[in-house]
Amino acid sequence: MEPHEDSMKGKIVLVTGATSGIGKETALGLAKMGATVVLVGRSREKLDKVASSIASATGNRTIDTLICDLTSMENVRKLASDFKHKYQRLDVLINNAGEIVGERRTTVDGFEYTLALDHLSHFLLTMLLLDRIKASAPARIINVSSSAHMLGRIDFEDLMGEKKYNPMKAYGQAKLANLLFTYELAGRLAGTGVTANAVHPGAVRTNFGKGMKGRWRVFLWLGSPFLIDAEKGAETSIFVASSPKVAGVAGKYFVKKKEKKSSKRSHDQTAAKRLWEVSSELTGIE
C-alpha cells in the first residue's frame, strides 16, 4: 500500500548527500508525503536545482537547503548551528552521504577521506543535533550503511589507512562503523523516544565510485548491469523514516524494507564502545 501523501506533514527531515542518487530520491519521496525536507550538499548550484525540481514535482514548497562540505568537521559544526538557528525540532535525521575514493586522500582535518565523510561526519552531526531530535520525540535517526560492512573490520591500529591503504578496506571499515555507531546509539537512546536504525539501499546505479581507478573501476563497471536505480535504492530509507510499522523499532539493520541480521563484527559491543570513544576524541565531542 502506498503511503498517504500527507503522512509526513508537519515533520522536519534532514537528508545529507541530497543532491544526487539515493539522497535525492529519499528527499523526493519524503517531500511527496508532505514533510519539510532540508537538503544538505556541498554545491549551492546543485542544491538550488534539486530543491526546485522537488518542489515542482511534488507541489511541496517546504523544501529547504543547507550547504556543507561534510569532510570538514568545522563545516559540520556550522551545519548543525545553521540548522538549529532555523529549526526548533528535527523529526528525522538521515545520514545518507557517503563515497569511496580510489586513492588515499586526507581531509582538511588530516583524516582519511572515506572515514571522515562516511562515518565521522555522521557521528558529529548526530551528536550536535541530538538535543533537537530528543525534543521532537518520537523521532528517528537513520544511518545509510551497506552490505560492504561484511567485508570490513575496524583497524584501530591504522584507522586512517596510513600504513596500508585499500579503497574497499577503507569503505568496508566505514560502513561497519556506521552499524557499530547505530547499535551503540540505539542503546544509549533507549527510553528517550528516539530510535536509531541502519539501512542497506542495495547495489545502486549512481555516481558512487566515480573517482575509482584501475582494477577497481573495472570491477564497478562489470557490476553495473546488475545495479538497481536510485529510486528503488531509496525505498528502504523512506520506509524506515516514515512507516508506522517501524515506530519504536531501534537498533536494527534494514534491507529491502525488512529487518536483516548484520555481520557478527557489527555486534561487537567492545569495538562499538571503543569506536565511540575514538570518534568523540577525533571530532571534539565531550
Q: What is the C-alpha to C-alpha distance for residues 195 and 8, in angstroms, rounded to an integer?
A: 17
181 CB burial (10 A radius; 0-12, 13-18, 19+): buried
| 3-state SS assignment for residue 167 | helix
The CA distance from 117 to 120, in Å, is: 6
Q: Which residues are catalytic?
A: 171
Residue 286 burial (10 A CB sphere; 0-12, 13-18, 19+)? exposed
Q: Residue type for 21, please?
A: G
**Cα-based distances in Å from 82 to 2, 79, 85:** 34, 5, 5
Compute the Cα dihedral for 200, 202, 208, 214 and give only its sign: positive
Q: Are 48 and 65 in contact (CB under 8 A)?
A: yes
Are 278 and 155 a contacting pair, CB within 8 Å?
no
Rounded to whole angstroms, the Cα distance separating 187 from 102 reads: 35
